[in-house]
Copies of this chain bind each other. A is one copy, B any other.
């Protein structure tokens, strides 16, 4: 087969294929949950062998961009899949079975990015952001208080009702809302974790005394190509839950 491609070729072929497929995902050629063309078809399209396409897809699967299903095809990964729910929720109960939380929204509004949020989201300080505040409840008790901010430009026309409806109707997460309503796929995140004392805002919301120890988790979530999309600060009461991390 020929080796000529649209892109200049100083990268291994399979890396170039990865970039081409990722571009398709970022451009919305294939939406979350849909299947992408078969390996043979992509091989024909890009003029490489099926094995090369396979290696590119293998790596995109490892990065959680795609999901393979034998006999059916290769699909764009989605947050509405079962099993992916806990990929971005690293809280576990000290005792008993893992349980899916209930979201209780306690604030929706618009504001301006302060210096820290602007830096994390890579936007101009003072530019418009959507602000969400919510509690995550396990067994009816509040465990996490979230302060969430996104560039307003990304969520045109969003309303409080849309969020409530989505979360209640499909047991959906915020990330599944971003992808179904705005075709924004969250594919990775960075978290910075510290300990702090509950203050006048967080203590009553989490039903703890002021001065109780809390986990503070600052998260930045990214879509394809490491583009930041969402900033959040989570305050966690770890009396009955812990944050878990797997080191490899």
Contacts and interface: CB of A to CB of B under 8 A. Distances in A.
Interface of A: 62-64, 87-88, 90, 92, 187-197, 211, 213-215, 236, 238, 242-248
A189 B244 CA distance: 11
A219 to B, nearest CB: 8
A30 B197 CA distance: 49
A194 B247 contact: no
A193 B246 contact: no
Contact of A188 (B195, B197, B215, B247): B247
Nearest to A211: B211
A126 to B, nearest CB: 24
A211 B198 CA distance: 12
A191 B247 contact: yes
B192 A247 contact: no
18 contacts: A90-B247, A92-B192, A188-B247, A189-B246, A190-B245, A190-B247, A191-B244, A192-B243, A192-B244, A193-B193, A193-B238, A193-B242, A194-B215, A194-B243, A195-B195, A211-B211, A213-B214, A245-B245
A197 B92 CA distance: 21
A62 B197 CA distance: 39
Q: Which 9 A-B pairs have the closest CB atoms?
A: A194-B238, A195-B213, A193-B243, A189-B247, A195-B195, A192-B242, A191-B245, A195-B215, A213-B213
Contacts of A248: 63-64, 187-188
Contacts of A188: 246-248
Given A87-B247, A188-B248, A190-B247, A195 B236 contact: yes
